[in-house]
């Protein structure tokens, strides 16, 4: 996969502490072209009964916090807005909200404002959502519930640049083989479970648990690369051409 050309002078911030997301983003962008700046957010305040809406709300809130902290003094920070897109790996929608950037000239827009990328991943099955386990016992319980069954993984991401906003949620289906209690406990003892949604790393020691993946594998790891690439290409084009007319544009 070829990397994208970043507009000259554009500052990009990945507001995530996840090393997996950093590695994934490095497949789209040259590693030195973006900075890492995690935000401190109480995600529980944004959780709802709908895992897709929960992930989107958390990603948007992270983006707003990161945009406020990264924007230079006197620049226009992106206010909370309705621009959003929700979709699955079979057919996603993308939402843009574009407004004129106050107090910014086209020539210095890219150098003054950061482009912020945030994301959140939730594993869910039926009516239950599986975040990061609080302790090894909870990780064992989570994996026991996923054993021999199909679950879904949603990763929502938000991209902010001034008043440009692009949000998307992508869903992937994952089927586990039946796991014994002993192999679950052996896996949890490695410590890999504790900072992963659902208590497992599909790219790590849990790879052998998986019978089938339907949709984006990178989405399960932490970022849907094909969808994020398409959105960044459009945003980079908008930055290069100047502010578009205000309005909301979506695509399937």
Compute CA distances 37 → 60, 62, 169, 248, whole Å: 15, 11, 22, 29
User: Is 40 annotated as catalytic?
Assistant: no
Distance CA 120, CA 53 (A): 11
151: CB partners within 8 A, 6+ apart: 123, 124, 125, 130, 173, 174, 176, 198
In which region does residue 225 sit, left (phi positive, over 0), alpha (psi from -120 to 50) or beta (all else)? alpha
Marked catalytic residue, from 40, 120, 195, 231: 120
> Taking Cα atoms as reference points, which of 39, 47, 34 lies closest to residue 16?
39
The count of C-alpha atoms lying within 13 angstroms of the C-alpha of 112, restricted to the half-sphere facing its C-beta, is: 15
Q: Are 4 and 34 in contact (CB under 8 A)?
A: no
Q: Provide the token pair at 154.
A: 């949603």
Distance CA 213, CA 172 (A): 7
Q: State the catalytic residues.
A: 120
């Amino acid at each position: 996969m070829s990397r994208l050309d970043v507009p000259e002078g554009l500052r990009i911030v990945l507001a995530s502490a996840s090393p997996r997301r950093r590695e994934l983003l490095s497949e789209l962008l040259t590693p030195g072209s973006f900075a890492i700046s995690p935000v401190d957010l109480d995600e529980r305040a944004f959780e709802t009964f709908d895992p897709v809406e929960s992930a989107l709300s958390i990603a948007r809130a992270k983006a707003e916090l990161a945009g406020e902290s990264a924007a230079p003094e006197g620049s226009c920070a992106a206010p909370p807005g309705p621009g959003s897109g929700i979709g699955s790996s079979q057919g996603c929608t993308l939402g843009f909200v574009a407004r004129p950037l106050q107090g910014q000239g086209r020539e210095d827009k890219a150098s003054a404002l950061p482009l912020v990328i945030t994301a959140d991943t939730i594993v869910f099955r039926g009516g239950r959502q599986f975040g990061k386990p609080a302790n090894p016992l909870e990780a064992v319980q989570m994996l026991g519930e996923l054993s021999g069954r199909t679950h879904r993984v949603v990763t929502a991401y938000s991209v902010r640049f001034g008043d440009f906003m692009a949000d998307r949620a992508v869903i992937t289906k994952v089927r586990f083989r039946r796991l014994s209690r002993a192999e679950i406990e052996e896996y949890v003892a490695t410590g890999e479970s504790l900072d992963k949604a659902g208590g497992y790393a599909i790219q790590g020691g849990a790879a052998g648990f998986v019978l089938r993946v339907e949709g984006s594998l990178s989405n399960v790891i932490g970022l849907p690369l094909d969808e994020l690439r398409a959105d960044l290409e459009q945003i980079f084009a908008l930055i290069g051409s100047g502010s578009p007319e205000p309005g909301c544009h979506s695509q399937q």
